[in-house]
Structure 1
């Protein structure tokens, strides 16, 4: 099909846990990689995510119930990025593939990683001993999505068994097979088995992507062709060689490592990459220089500002933060806020929103504002009905106000946050100020109004008590003294 990603004669950034996030993928594309794989993402975590178009970062984010961004991508890599998942369940694999289908170029199933992170639950290299499940997963994906589907395997102890498995995989209709030329028990210190990869390449008609040559065979871009020829493969996938210096993909030769790390950090700042993930990737590039003065500063950094200072990128950090804050400010405009979409779920008004505690002044919450509003309207106090989801123990709450119901369609990490989210939905649906910092007639003004109302009520109560006492005095007969 026209426009589909081809795996023939390509050089790819291999999937690497904690390394294959957006900044590294973009950097690899800058330096000449044809295709980039994201880090392996587990189906059980991804299936709980919801898709968010991040207008500030201009990305598409897949966000877990606890608000962590599990996968972030952008338009720049849309036709080049392969989403790799860890799975042992055909139906769940298909659900995840359909979730990300319109934002990536292909879907890959990890069948080669030997680490416990991947093998628990029968995923990763554990699948190599269950070819029936391999076939079921790949067949379900090939038939269920419009994108190319691939898989990444390790070799089996027997050459014949490896070839037999590859042929069985080919029959499912996958677009390519990536072969790491080591047994699942072997590690990088063991030599890569180019002969096994070559046997697979000769046995199937689809592209075979050779993997595993970083330590022994691939030191620079010129070595990529030699590794491909040694394996008789159509394409090559690089992991550690690219992790150590992504400019290995440059035909003109690698760049100085400091320049590469600086460019990586610029992408990390631009796309708000988590500081600890950025620090991990920078330390991998530093390798034996991790105990240098720069390395120690990187290891000690606790946030992106400190990482920027270590590389002399203070001005870049400030400029990037100012640019992102300007976008946030534009999106906070009243016109944008009123764009909240209310949808009806039966008799419940819903909005897709999360409770963000930092948006509200200290000691003030949406529940407080809603309670105060109800009191002034002389309606019954709001009541909250909260449920917990078994699969991830997340919470969702429905608030009833004046016999109408409101809730957020997104799940929260705690009962308190779920109740606050439902209160926000109610306040926004009714057009009531909720007290957010910077909100017109909100924040401190609302707090003062609530305090003034309470003071006024207290004065009225005292006056009623005083009037009652005087009235009571009139009705008491005078005491007769002897």
Structure 2
């Protein structure tokens, strides 16, 4: 049996509920700051998560789970590691286990969404659709409990009758889950409908595992003291807040809530510090503004297209610039550390080296790509082929060059596609021990090419006038550039 030492406890807790587009890192950290004991991430679909790669983001000091298209699906940090619950949408036990195993070392617990009534969840047999398939619920939860070391929980909605709801939760309890969250509305009901506290109470009286009451934001919870009132009304062990926390995360604050404007400022700081998705940030801020969303400030927010523009709306431009400068300084320091070695390393089938293309280190109109092309021709090889990718989070580029069926690339990302290709060419040339054209470098490949051109015309460099030599140099350079552009 797995040890429970250090495992997340779900009794007598207040939690930030999982909310799509809301429960990202900035909101989770904000809720923790104000007193929440546990924070849930937004529902993340298993099919998308299972394709992700775990990446340590040294600049932001986060752990990112990055999709093949470079989108960050889930971002977390050490600050929340022992209190964040990863919620997934799933309808497949084995895929659910694969996702749980991918993230379990970076989170405190795994939760399965069985309550979302929205079509994007239910159409795949996930969310509230699972409520009508208790066999699948049991299979998913049992597989997770047996397959990972972290606590497993689930979040459900109540069924049409109290008896059916109690029977379902009793079956869930037998799978070995650590807790169950119960939203006191049926899947057809919406926030305008009253929450069924009696259903939650019946469940809490029947099972021995902690029951987390959810759904009280509209009628019950408007202040911190209301949280305890809702807990008593439902007989639950803990309380989970969604909309009340979305509107003002300081509802978790035992000393009393802060003004929404203060909360907005703190949220924006986290959003900038952790490079939150711009559209996600806008959505959360609009939810906080509520009836002010149509005000001049709200309209400016709607028009904002970057995090910097959002900061301008709220008078936080100085904070944005200061934070970006600090991140850029950290990025430069990390890259400098990565560059301390000129020795190539092998990553899979790709030879890598931490190098950067510095334009000032090369003569005008001379580049490493030109030298690599010349060397390839001299060796009677096929011309180099460049494959370049761009990552979404900062729009930086990284290129791989293929020469003689071998791949080369720089470990560093560049700000432009052209520079990324030049950096890849440098890695290839240095690995092969071939000149790359830097100022002051001897044995230029382009010089060799010029001599061949001169011999082809029956001349030597000594026979040419200065004007003719200059003309040939320009001609060769232009030809090489045209070849490079074609590639």
Partner of 2:7: 4
Q: 1:408 to 1:317 in 2, by over 3 A?
A: closer
Q: 21, 24, 33: which is aligned to 1:21?
A: 24
Partner of 1:84: 87
Q: 1:455 to 1:97 in 2, by over 3 A?
A: same
1:464 aligns with 2:466: no
Partner of 1:471: none
RMSD: 3.6
Partner of 1:36: 39
Maintained 8 Å contact 2:18/2:43: yes
Alignment of 1:14-413 (within 5 A): 14-333=17-336, 335-336=338-339, 338=341, 342-343=345-346, 345=348, 348-349=349-350, 368=369, 371-372=372-373, 374-375=375-376, 378=379, 380-381=381-382, 401-402=403-404, 404=406
**Deviations 1:246-267 (Å, cap 9, x if unpaired)?**
0010111110110000000011
State the 1:424 CA deviation.
6.9
Q: 1:431 to 1:142 in 2, by over 3 A?
A: farther
Instruction: Measure, in 1, the Cα distance between the counterparts of 2:111 and 2:343.
Output: 36
State the 1:399 CA deviation.
6.7
Q: 1:327 to 1:377 in 2, by over 3 A?
A: farther
Maintained 8 Å contact 2:45/2:90: yes
The alignment's TM-score, normalised by the length of structure 2, stands at 0.79
Maintained 8 Å contact 2:53/2:66: yes
Q: 1:349 to 1:293 in 2, by over 3 A?
A: closer
What SS class does the counterpart of residue 164 from structure 1 fall into? helix
Instruction: Measure, in 1, the Cα distance between the counterparts of 2:403 and 2:302.
Output: 51
**Deviations 1:226-280 (Å, cap 9, x if unpaired)?**
1111111000000000000000101111101100000000111111112221111
Instruction: Measure, in 1, the Cα distance between the counterparts of 2:71 and 2:311.
Output: 23
What SS class does the counterpart of residue 132 from structure 1 fall into? helix
Instruction: Measure, in 1, the Cα distance between the counterparts of 2:371 and 2:122.
Output: 48
Maintained 8 Å contact 1:399/1:423: no
> Mean Cα displacement is larger for which, 115-124 or 320-329?
115-124
Maintained 8 Å contact 1:342/1:429: no
What SS class does the counterpart of residue 173 from structure 1 fall into? coil
Maintained 8 Å contact 1:150/1:175: yes
Maintained 8 Å contact 1:42/1:87: yes
What SS class does the counterpart of residue 123 from structure 2 fall into? helix
Instruction: Measure, in 1, the Cα distance between the counterparts of 2:148 and 2:47.
Output: 19
Instruction: Measure, in 2, the Cα distance between the counterparts of 1:20 and 1:352.
Output: 38
State the 1:381 CA deviation.
2.1
Q: 1:424 to 1:215 in 2, by over 3 A?
A: same
Query: What residue ranges of structure 2 are gaps of 5+ in the alignment?
Result: 388-398, 412-416, 461-487
What SS class does the counterpart of residue 112 from structure 2 fall into? strand
Maintained 8 Å contact 2:352/2:427: no
Aligned residues: 429
What SS class does the counterpart of residue 152 from structure 1 fall into? strand
Instruction: Measure, in 2, the Cα distance between the counterparts of 1:103 and 1:159.
Output: 37
